[in-house]
Structure 1
């Protein structure tokens, strides 16, 4: 699917953004429903913004890859922090993406649709010398340069969406705690190129926020989870409709909760429960005290 974007379309484009499926702790009812929606409605593309697995185990990747390979639509898959080997340190450092082999052509691949390019931005790393644990994001200079080069390769006027795993918020607003390293620079660079939005996951609650950067506004769109690791909203995925220069987001869910009640008004530190006091939760939700156990 990587190639020259075709002329602007006469029809709207529809994308499904899925995230944080966490095979190994997946919600079987939710992923069956999401797959049924994809098969029945055939969106123009599916964007999966990371964390396919819970612990990057071989059996979890087999299940994830089998599920994805059964989707008969264009798919791009970002790598999440849970997708890098958790227990096998040798593989984590020397072959971190080896277990993606069955869907290798889909991983961090650009999707080119009529008048629209979906460009990957890697935010996961094998290690971070600045901190431990390594669950939060880091936009390295190399990753940002590759993303910007891919954007700049398109003709002027091409609509661009960027797909990542971590939200690009660099510092937590209330106390300045570090979240995504180099996020501010990345947001400014993307805003300067007038991208339509940055799609991400990691938080397990959906959001649709516009942040102000030194280079102008940038829209950040987060998808919820299809796993049992719920936060303040039921399992969901985003339906994104792009019509001309407009972009509309619906947080679709089995409980039929309205999108405004599903979306949180800020970016929390991470997806761990319980959320700290003062971190954003959705109007609909009750935050669980703990995750279900991982076996």
Structure 2
């Protein structure tokens, strides 16, 4: 039985696009995907009311949902005490969906934290994979049922996907190599606000880097968008769904899990 995942990111409640949110919710209602994967930046300023609105919207979809933490989902630099010591107290209605592992028939979706409360560089919005975060993700990958497709979900692309926006994720290349070595089939992300699907060869394994667009008003090169991932056994493909005259188009060729290119 074919399966379908909707991959959405960077909704930015507080700067959300109501038309795009309604369009996405209607797509979910009409097509009933097996799960929604939200790869971060649910909010704009990590305010309680933004989390409440975003959490209620996601719960209203009526399908399994997992949310990753984005750089906009922790308090900003001007609130350093909250950022460093209690960054996750405002999640409200979204709390139970944060970093939730999803096990679907033949598919495991594993969280990977790519945000940091502080970094040794000026721009803390960029990605960072700590040893602990990678260890936690690898343990979940190892525990996945044998033979499952394994998708890892985080906010920042581990390496650049060729988009205008950048993630500059520290330790991202090493993390990607470790995930590929563990048999991960795809790493899903957001942050750059434009969709992409890039196969990356790591040794004898190919892992797909898949990025989603945004449903906020903070557009870059693409109109409001989310990804549809179609899964047929060990094969999957990514389609960008856009709120535009070209509503659905592939951004990858269908491939076997772990194919080399």
Which residue of 141, 162, 177 corresponds with 1:151? 141
CA distance in 1, matches of 2:160, 2:43: 25
Question: Secondary structure of the residue that 2:199 maps to in structure 1?
Answer: strand
Distance change in 2, residues 1:178/1:52 (3 Å)? closer
Is the 1:18–1:225 Cα contact (8 Å) retained in structure 2?
yes
Q: Residue 85 of structure 2 corresponds to which residue in structure 1?
A: 94
CA distance in 2, matches of 1:164, 1:41: 25
Instruction: Determine if the alignment matches structure 1 residue 80 to structure 2 residue 77.
Output: no
Is the 1:121–1:162 Cα contact (8 Å) retained in structure 2?
yes
Is the 1:18–1:46 Cα contact (8 Å) retained in structure 2?
yes
Q: Residue 182 of structure 1 corresponds to which residue in structure 2?
A: 171
Q: Residue 4 of structure 2 corresponds to which residue in structure 1?
A: 14
Question: Secondary structure of the residue that 2:192 maps to in structure 1?
Answer: strand
Which residue of 198, 205, 223 corresponds with 2:212? 223
Instruction: Determine if the alignment matches structure 1 residue 62 to structure 2 residue 45.
Output: no
**Structure (1 or 2) with the larger CA radius of gyration:** 1
Instruction: Determine if the alignment matches structure 1 residue 25 to structure 2 residue 15.
Output: yes
Q: Residue 245 of structure 1 corresponds to which residue in structure 2?
A: 234
Question: Secondary structure of the residue that 1:61 maps to in structure 2?
Answer: helix
Distance change in 2, residues 1:214/1:184 (3 Å)? farther
Is the 1:171–1:178 Cα contact (8 Å) retained in structure 2?
no
Is the 2:48–2:92 Cα contact (8 Å) retained in structure 1?
no
Is the 1:170–1:183 Cα contact (8 Å) retained in structure 2?
no
Report the TM-score when normalising by structure 1.
0.79
Question: Secondary structure of the residue that 1:53 maps to in structure 2?
Answer: coil
Q: Residue 123 of structure 1 corresponds to which residue in structure 2?
A: 114
Question: Secondary structure of the residue that 2:28 maps to in structure 1?
Answer: helix
CA distance in 1, matches of 2:116, 2:171: 13
Give 5+ residue unaligned stretches, structure 1: 1-10, 264-295
Shift of 1:256: 3.4
CA distance in 1, matches of 2:93, 2:53: 11
Mean CA deviation greater in 163-172 or 244-253: 163-172
CA distance in 1, matches of 2:118, 2:135: 20
Question: Secondary structure of the residue that 1:98 maps to in structure 2?
Answer: coil
RMSD, matched Cα: 1.9
Q: Residue 268 of structure 1 corresponds to which residue in structure 2?
A: none
Cα deviation per residue 1:186-237 (whole Å; 9 max; x = unaligned)? 1111111222201000000000001223463221000000011110110010
Give 5+ residue unaligned stretches, structure 2: 253-261
Instruction: Determine if the alignment matches structure 1 residue 207 to structure 2 residue 210.
Output: no
Shift of 1:14: 0.5
Is the 2:74–2:88 Cα contact (8 Å) retained in structure 1?
yes
Count of residues in Structure 1 that have an aligned counterpart in Structure 2: 247
Is the 1:171–1:179 Cα contact (8 Å) retained in structure 2?
no
Shift of 1:16: 0.4
Shift of 1:65: 1.6
